Amino acid sequence: MRKILVIDDDDLMQVLMKKVLEQAGYEVYVAREGDEGLRIINSQEVDLVITDIFMPGKEGLETIMEMRRIAPTLAIVAISGGGERGNYSFLNTAKMMGALDTLRKPFRREQFLVVVQECLQKNAVEY
């Protein structure tokens, strides 16, 4: 069973993503912020991380950089509901820092599952 870590400080989003992923047959771990997610990465083997960009504590971009350092082959998807500030896109920055894909909140269940499946497949082929 593929293992996925969801990092999001929004309780509702966390519960919804966990439920959708479990219904699709994945084992799911959850964390509320980056440091908690990093602790899970250091203690559990996971196949994919889905992380929000804007969170209290260690935010998503910093978390992505740290995860890339610890686990260079880990598949990462960045998500955000506030991904732009003027002409600056935090989701594009997340891709430059190592996220395989990004999703802008709100997203549809089907879109979410396609991105998850594609990232897991792409990562399996590359590594």
Cα–Cα distance for residue pair 107/84, rounded to 1 Å = 16
The predicted structure's pLDDT at residue 88: 59
Cβ within 8 Å of residue 119, ≥6 positions away: 48, 75, 76, 77, 100, 101
Owning domain of residue 116: 3-126
Q: Which of 3, 53, 16 is nearest to 33 (CA)?
A: 53
Q: How many domains does the chain have?
A: 1
Write out the H or E segment, with its range, that includes residue 89. strand 88-89
- Give percent above pLDDT 70 in the chain: 93
CB 2 within 8 A of CB 48: yes
Cα–Cα distance for residue pair 2/50, rounded to 1 Å = 13
Q: What is the pLDDT of residues 46-81, one digit of tens each?
A: 999 999 999 998 999 999 999 999 999 999 999 998
CATH number of the domain residue 34 falls in: 3.40.50.2300
